[in-house]
Chain A
Amino acid sequence: MTNDIIILPLVVHLFFSILLMFLWNKINLQKIVSIVGNAVALVVAIWAFVFVYNNGTHVVESGNWPAPFGIVFVGDMLAVTLVLLTAIAGFAVSIFSAISVIKARLRFGYFSVFHFLLLGLNGAFLTGDIFNLYVWFEIIIISSFVLISIGGERNQLEGAVKYFALNFFASMIFLTALGVLYGLVGTLNMADISLKIAEVENTTLVEISAVLFLVGFGIKSAIFPLYFWLPASYHTPPSAVSAIFAGLLTKVGVYALIRVFTLIYAEDSFLTVLLLTMAIMTIFSGGVGAIIQNNIKKVFMYFIICHIGFMIGGLALFTEVAMAGVIFYLIHDIIIKTNLFLMGGLIYRIKTTTNMKKLGGLYANYPKLSLLMAIPLFSLVGIPPLSGYWPKISLILASFNAEEYWLFGALIFGSLITLIVIAKLWAEVFWKDQPKINFPKKFIYFDQLRLGQKFTFVFPVAFLTFVTLYIGFGAEHIQQLSQRIATELMNNEMYINAVLKR
């Protein structure tokens, strides 16, 4: 079994999604099976993580075909860390889904598709073959189309169409880039491409394929000027779905960018300038977008965009310190963004709205819950010693050392905007008195739930907050991990040697 340890997360999710299909009409059973499935996936992910942490990069050649010819699954530190984070976020969201998503949606195989989405995410992180990466992206977007449109409300379908159109377009560009790249090097194994691309004489075409990858992944990870689908669609599905989208779907684009631009197109001056400009504009436009929004879900959405810019900026700097910052930020961001949207769902359940103008008095009525929600919000700002603080230090330091003052300014601007918006949000939602609005009668409020139901609402938020606290207070471990990943990424021979067994 240990030979296959890193593909076990895939096997577990596929097994549970098929099992859930057999239980199509038994919704209550589906909830339990899905939570158990995610718990199993979490255990397996921890196991895989520990295994790779102790034994170094582990490669599985699927179908027993040797490396450049068959599809390989590569569990390096970055991949298994992301698989672990996916498992943590998936576990929290599955519990939250069980209580917050209504039956009309669950009836259409919600949980089964949810497991397929997690399967696709894990596959994308683990694969070492770039065409296989495309296939996993397809699995991700097809399952996310189902999740975003399930239930079929009017504004939801409107969001789904925008989401569908732009993501499909991104896949097409990705596929075009693949075609160009395959025509140049004649191989699809990423490690093999990395070796062969240095020998290609036609550098213009190499750069064109790089830009095509940048656009394709850029749309998926929502960087400027390709992010417009995100604010149009992410607030429409139920909070549980938004949470998994916010936490993981854009991050898989960032992961693909990191992988491609460290392994295949490392050190390209034209791309560095392009990435840097895009990062600065992403931070700026996301931040400005967040400050004018009144709906807390929309505020969080613009934060996603803004903070994607932090990671892309770090990637553009391409130094080991910056890369460690990027990885730390990625770890922090996946947990925190998932949590923010779960909190949005919780606030909606308490007050029937997520509009800041209509909200208020949360701290007076729910002091303990408010304090719980304060921790992720303050971590997002990066108040020391919470988790957002540490990666920002690395990123700001790296940009200052590299004398990229525009990025330096943008990072500080982004952090400042985050602070202002969170302060505004805190004042409006938690401290302000509840404005007099008519609460709808036909709604199951948080107070009316049974104790067990309340627990299932609060537990995922508390669980993710606990993980955030660990990332903040155990920053030493996470920093060591990030540095190790950064070293592996910057010296890509380690990856190539492990895959091709040289």
Chain B
Amino acid sequence: MRTIILKSASSYLLPVLLLFSVFILLRGHYLPGGGFVGGLVASIAFVLDSFSNGLDKTKSVLKIHPGFLMPFGLAIAFLSGISPILFSDLPLMTGIWAEDPIPVIGAIGSALFFDLGVYLVVIGASLTIIFTISESV
């Protein structure tokens, strides 16, 4: 798999794909996209990098074990889910939205943080699975 074309392409593709995954994540509230798809795209970026540069290189790029992203993601999603109970006495998972939209990102609400949590969990889970399998092969 380690052809020169793939190797030089992947060094550009990793940041581009990661940026694209964030785009998909933010786009997700009213248009196709969201945390799950964004997370998959981001994990594909890392898998492609591990194909061309080897698993150890990718792990050193990631710095932490991808499994640790799962509890963080779950915690963010959980907090965004219970935030209506804590802050405004509304039922679980009610969307709370900020008054003014922020440029580029758009309107910020608790749903965005839920999606962010999903994004992290998906990256963590899929990378853990793929890395474990490719290590044992």
* Cβ–Cβ < 8 Å partners of A63 in chain B: 91-95
Cβ contacts under 8 Å, B84 to chain A: 64
Could you give, for residues 14-25 of chain B, a 1 whenever the CB lies within 8 Å of some chain A CB and a 0 otherwise? 000000000000
A18 and B92 in contact (CB under 8 A), knowing A4-B85, A11-B82?
A: no
CA distance A15 to B71 in the complex (A): 11
- The answer to whether the Cβ of B26 comes within 8 Å of any Cβ in the partner chain is no
A14 at the interface (CB under 8 A from B): yes
Q: Does B99 contact A (CB under 8 A)?
A: no
| Number of residues on chain A facing chain B (CB within 8 A) | 16
Which residues of A have CB within 8 Å of B74? 18, 21
Is A169's beta carbon under 8 Å from chain B? no
- Indicate if the CB atoms of B71 and A3 lie closer than 8 Å: no
- Contacts of B82 on A, CB cut-off 8 Å? 11
A17 to chain B, nearest CB (A): 8
* Option from A1, A7, A15, A60 in Cβ contact (under 8 Å) with B78: A15
Given contacts A18-B71, A21-B70, A21-B71, contact A1 B85 (CB under 8 A): yes
Residues from chain B with a CB closer than 8 A to the CB of A11 are 82, 85, 92
B91 x A61 contact (CB < 8 A):
yes
Cα–Cα, bound, A15→B77 (Å)? 11
Count how many chain B residues have C-beta atoms less than 8 Å from C-beta atoms of the other chain. Answer: 15
Query: Are B92 and A7 interface neighbours, CB within 8 A?
Result: yes
B75-96 vs A, CB cutoff 8 Å, 1 = contact: the mask equals 1001000101100011111110
For residues 1 through 43 of chain A, which have their beta carbon under 8 Å from a beta carbon of chain B?
1, 3-4, 7, 11, 14-15, 18, 21-22, 24
With an 8 A cutoff between CB atoms, is A497 at the interface?
no
Q: Contact check: which of A1, A14, A64 meets B90 at CB < 8 Å?
A: A64
**A62: Cβ under 8 A from any B Cβ:** yes
Cα A64 to Cα B92 in complex, Å, equals 8
Question: Given the known A-B contacts A1-B85, A4-B85, A11-B82, are A18 and B75 also in contact in the complex, defined by CB atoms under 8 Å?
Answer: yes
Residue pair B91, A60 in contact (C-beta under 8 Å): yes
With A and B bound together, what is the CA distance between A166 and B70 in angstroms?
29
- Complex Cα–Cα for A161 and B71 (A): 28
Min CB gap A468→B, angstroms: 34
Given A21-B70, A22-B71, also A14-B78 (CB < 8 A): yes
Q: How far is the CB of B64 from chain A (nearest CB, A)?
A: 12
CA distance A254 to B94 in the complex (A): 32
26 interchain pairs (CB within 8 A)?
Answer: A1-B85, A3-B89, A3-B91, A4-B85, A4-B92, A7-B92, A11-B82, A11-B85, A11-B92, A14-B78, A18-B71, A21-B70, A22-B71, A22-B75, A60-B92, A61-B91, A62-B91, A62-B92, A63-B91, A63-B93, A63-B94, A63-B95, A64-B84, A64-B90, A64-B91, A64-B94
| Nearest 3 CB-CB pairings of A with B | A21-B71, A64-B94, A63-B93
